[in-house]
Structure 1
Amino acid sequence: MTGLLAELGKKLADRWLTALMLPGLLLVAVAVVGFRLSHRHPFDVAALSRWVDDTAASPVGRSQGALLLITAAVLLAAGAAGLAAAGLGAGCGRWCVAEGSWPPGSWLAAWRRRRWEQADRAAREALRAAAADVTKPHPPLRAAILRRDRIALRAPHRPTFVGDRFSAVDQRVADAYGLDLLAVWPRMWLVVDDPVRAQTSAAQDAYAAALRLAGWGILYLGLGVMWWPAAVVGLVVLAVAWVRVRQTAGLLADLVEATVDLHGRTLADRLGLPVDGQLTRAQGQMVTAALRKDVPLSLPES
């Protein structure tokens, strides 16, 4: 047990160092550079070099106690920046899955819905053209479907792609199997194999890392108040983060849906509910009733 705890602590320390401390040190360095150069001389490397030399030659630079305090302050600032980035990333995650009932979220959702409807009409027209002549390949059909799916898999109702992507999983699972994913998923996690857990956990970690990257981008934007190149860096980081958030959210949603597809019957069997062959919607509703515990455990009337 001691060895296990030591190894776990080592892994947590490595993750903390890689995910938070090192990016935090870089942010602190950028903050110091920005404070010294400001907007008027954003790229004055000579002035920065002179300041470093003067500081090193000063009594503070030659004092071991002062250097120790400065090192501790830098490490504390880097750790605080890492926690701030994680908190901002969590806030970005909540915004990504928000329903958008109020402006400006509702405006963004309406704009995305109009784009999706236009892309859906184009996809339907391409499908009719392909159905009219099945002897020839129709690359425009695939391209039209991909354009529509890049907006959303279903008609959008949320401000962001991520919110609609996660919402689509809930709806698709409910439509296909009658399962309430919110009630089913914690139990599903207990019956799946270790490889499935490992892949899903890795996808969830990648999604969380992408959200943290967005948090770092916001912090760099904040530094742009005193040094404008930091704002440029922040915009680039945010753009990269958004691409990664979309990719990792899509992968995580696919893995969750695939897990339900492959292990929905396993969960029903473990609950002692009758399942013959593929899990049907009526049987899935029985599973949902058993897990929610607030509706009668019976098949719906036909």
Structure 2
Amino acid sequence: MAPVLDGLGEKLAEKWVSASAAPGLLFLAASAAAAVLGHDHALDGGLLRERAGHWAATAEHRPVAGQVAAVAVVVLASVAAGAFVRICAEEAAVRLWTGDWPRAARALDRRLTARRAGRWTSLQREIDRIRRATPAHHRQDADRLRIDELTARRDLIALARPTRPTHTGDRFAATESRLRGQYDIDLAACWPALWLVLPEETRAELRASRSRFDAAVTATVWAGCYAALGCVWWPAAVVAAVTAPVAWRRGRRAATAHAGLVEAAVDVHLRKLAADVGLAAPPGTPWEPRLGTALNRLFRKGA
């Protein structure tokens, strides 16, 4: 048992260091370079090497205990920086991405949501107009292509009528609304139980997709930190300008993939959940909404 625990501890330590300490150490190094170079000597590698050599020579004359303490301070500072950024990402940045904004931003929230909803509704009305004007069996190729084009433009905004000020927030919200429309299921109430019946490979894929989204959100926070550092050392602002759009695109793709996996997990395993809790599947098609209604009643505990 001990070797297994030792191996697990090593893997967890490696993951922890790579997730927190390494990005924090890189940011501390950038901060040190900013303190030495500033804007006036932003790319002066000779000055940086000279100052680093001076620090190394000074450290050599210190006692071993002092050197160990200095290394420990650097490691702890890098871990603290990484942990701070991860907390900011989990507690604040995710809320910004998903449109769960604080009360102070409610006015902006309403304006952006109304704007997104207006664009989405306008496209949906045009789609409905074409469908009403031409029955499906009489529809020409040009009409079909026009409907496909409008549908693609609508879905770029959101898969369901927007209710959030951000694309990611609407993508997650659309998963709940689409599943409610298909099965009449309350995803928030039923998801913990559904999670327990999912195969391990499905749960692993869901964890991985969520981790990719969280990593992208964390990268945007790091980009903000480098942007702030750019006030005293302009190369850091360049790093932020490159990192932020890449992280934004990756985050949107990861959110879309994760929401799609959640929706697929419900589609594939909802009846298994019903069978495991002793609910007989009603007759009819697999998307019979009475199944969702029965599961809601069970997992809401009558609330």
Q: What range describes the TM-score normalised by the shorter chain of this pair?
A: 0.7 to 0.9
Aligned counterparts of 1:215 and 1:191: Cα–Cα separation in 2: 35
Kindly provide the amino acid, as one letter, of the partner of residue 51 in structure 1: R
Question: Contact conserved, 2:97 with 2:166, CA < 8 A, in 1?
Answer: yes
Kindly provide the amino acid, as one letter, of the partner of residue 144 in structure 1: L
The alignment's TM-score, normalised by the length of structure 1, stands at 0.87
**What 5-or-longer segments of structure 1 have no aligned partner?**
296-302
> Map of 1:27-46 to 2, 5 A cutoff?
27-46=27-46
Return the offset for 1:172: 1.0
- Counterpart residue number, 1:292: 300
- Counterpart residue number, 1:84: 84
Percent identity of equivalent pairs: 34
Kindly provide the amino acid, as one letter, of the partner of residue 14 in structure 1: E
> Map of 1:122-201 to 2, 5 A cutoff?
133-134=139-140, 141-201=147-207
Kindly provide the amino acid, as one letter, of the partner of residue 174 in structure 1: R
CA deviation profile, 1:50-72 (whole Å, cap 9, x unmatched):
22233334x33443534333322
3-state SS, counterpart of residue 255 of structure 1: helix
3-state SS, counterpart of residue 42 of structure 1: coil
Aligned counterparts of 1:89 and 1:273: Cα–Cα separation in 2: 40
Quickly say closer, same or farther: Cα 1:92–1:258, change in 2 above 3 A. same
Aligned counterparts of 1:184 and 1:146: Cα–Cα separation in 2: 31
Aligned counterparts of 2:5 and 2:63: Cα–Cα separation in 1: 35
Question: Contact conserved, 1:130 with 1:138, CA < 8 A, in 2?
Answer: no
Counterpart among 108, 111, 114 of residue 107 in structure 1: 111
Aligned counterparts of 1:123 and 1:7: Cα–Cα separation in 2: 58
CA deviation profile, 1:24-47 (whole Å, cap 9, x unmatched):
111111110011111222222222
3-state SS, counterpart of residue 48 of structure 1: helix
Aligned counterparts of 2:73 and 2:129: Cα–Cα separation in 1: 63
3-state SS, counterpart of residue 103 of structure 1: helix
**Deviating runs (4+, > 6 A) in structure 1?**
125-130
Aligned counterparts of 1:171 and 1:68: Cα–Cα separation in 2: 56
Deviates more, 1:228-237 or 1:149-158: 228-237
CA RMSD between the two structures: 2.5
Counterpart among 263, 266, 271 of residue 265 in structure 1: 271
Quickly say closer, same or farther: Cα 1:250–1:69, change in 2 above 3 A. same
**What 5-or-longer segments of structure 2 have no aligned partner?**
none
Q: How many residues align?
A: 294
Question: Contact conserved, 1:84 with 1:215, CA < 8 A, in 2?
Answer: no
CA deviation profile, 1:169-209 (whole Å, cap 9, x unmatched):
11111111111100111000111112211111111111121
